[in-house]
């Protein structure tokens, strides 16, 4: 009888290097929300991939960043750092040849990690001259001495099979922890709130960077129709006006885009009701964060 293999893989890196896109393409389903704005991911999101005798449990993490100006930033950094403590493999994602101070910060956090580290150079589809990678590979090797360095394009599915093979080599034997058809341990309510937040971030990222949270107040599944009511929290009246838009046009556009994705996620017809509420200073209030589901 073939022995089963199962292990946890943390996907880490600074903000905006493509960690969530990588998770979604590895799982071949959208679990983690994505946008071009840094710090879109706020919580660790688990994606599970079971193939034959192998189960890979990926943990997408918020981008590790030095600026810890608010409680929510400190929370995100704690989440990302905690994900590396008890995993079997760490996948450290970097963006092409771009190296920032926040990348050095990630390297520093990885110094005491016991698990093997695989460095992934993402977005290589946008590098025309691949020979320029060679000195970059040498620098990465010197900084981290990783188990492997693999150039990929998460968005274009380039070299992901090679990455998976390298991960599987390093996973321990053990029983599978989740049913083979389960792809995440997050609830439907969590995923729905995240999809709404994604649409807001994509449509209003410049005007409303990070002072937004989404709270699901009603989630009623009546077989033929799922009724969802969600409150979007902002920190100031001006932000509320921007989010609602002229005669409610912006909120309607966000609702339409979110509903389409939620219907795909739930495979059901959805009635989505959104409204906006001002909750001053929630992003710098530990108690408010806990009540919104941001707890360890």
Task: Evaluate if residue 1 carries a pLDDT over 60.
Answer: no
Beta carbons of 32 and 41 less than 8 angstroms apart: yes
Q: Which of 88, 95, 84 is nearest to 61 (CA)?
A: 84
Residues 6+ apart with CB under 8 A from 224: 268, 269
Q: Which tokens is 244 given?
A: 């609602």
Candidates 56, 48, 62; CA nearest to 13 is 62
- Tokens 């608010």 belong to 70
124-135 pLDDT tens trace: 998 888 788 888
Which residues, 6+ apart, have CB-to-CB distance to 225 below 8 Å?
A: 268, 269, 270, 271
**Region label for 196, one of left (φ > 0), alpha (ψ between -120 and 50) or beta (otherwise):** alpha
pLDDT tens per residue across span 226-268: 999 999 999 999 999 999 999 999 999 999 999 999 999 999 9
Using the structure block, give the residue that is written with the tokens 């943990």.
59
On the CB side of 199, how many CA atoms lie within 13 Å of its CA? 22
Q: Which of 48, 26, 178, 33 shows the shortest CA–CA distance to 93?
A: 26
Element (H, E) at 94: strand 89-95
Single pTM value for the model: 0.91
Mean pLDDT score of the chain: 90
* Structural domains of the chain, with CATH: 5-169 (3.40.50.300), 188-291 (3.30.300.20)
Question: 52: left (phi > 0), else alpha (psi -120 to 50), else beta?
Answer: left
Q: Coil, strand or helix: which one is 59?
A: strand
Q: 235 with 280: CB under 8 angstroms?
A: yes
Summarize pLDDT for 51-89 with one digit per residue, the tens: 999 999 999 988 877 766 788 888 888 888 888 888 999
Tokens representing residue 278 in the block: 């001002």
């Amino acid at each position: 009888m073939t022995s089963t293999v199962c292990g946890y893989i943390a996907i880490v890196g600074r903000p905006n290097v493509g960690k969530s896109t990588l998770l979604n393409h590895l799982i071949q389903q959208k679990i983690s929300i994505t946008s071009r704005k840094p710090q879109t991911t706020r919580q660790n999101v688990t994606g599970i991939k079971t193939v034959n005798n192998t189960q890979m449990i990926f943990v997408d993490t918020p981008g590790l960043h030095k600026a810890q100006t608010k409680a929510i930033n400190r929370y995100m950094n704690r989440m990302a750092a905690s994900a590396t403590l008890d995993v079997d493999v760490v996948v450290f994602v970097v963006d092409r040849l771009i190296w920032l101070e926040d990348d050095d910060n990630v390297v520093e956090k990885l110094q005491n990690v016991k698990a093997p580290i695989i460095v992934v150079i993402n977005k290589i589809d946008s590098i025309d001259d691949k020979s320029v990678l060679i000195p970059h590979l040498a620098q990465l090797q010197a900084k981290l001495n990783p188990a492997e360095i693999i150039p990929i394009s998460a968005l274009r599915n380039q070299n992901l099979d090679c990455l998976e093979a390298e991960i599987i080599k390093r996973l321990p034997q053990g029983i599978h922890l989740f049913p083979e058809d389960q792809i995440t341990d997050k609830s439907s309510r969590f995923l729905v709130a995240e999809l709404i937040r994604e649409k807001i971030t994509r449509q209003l990222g410049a005007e409303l960077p990070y002072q937004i949270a989404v709270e699901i107040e009603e989630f009623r599944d009546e077989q033929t129709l799922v009724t969802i009511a969600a409150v979007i929290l902002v920190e100031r009246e001006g932000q509320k006006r921007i989010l609602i838009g002229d005669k409610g046009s912006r909120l309607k556009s966000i609702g339409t885009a979110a509903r389409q994705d939620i219907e795909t996620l739930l495979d059901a017809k959805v009635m989505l009701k959104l409204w906006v509420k001002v909750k001053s200073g929630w992003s710098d209030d530990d108690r408010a964060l806990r009540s919104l589901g941001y707890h360890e």
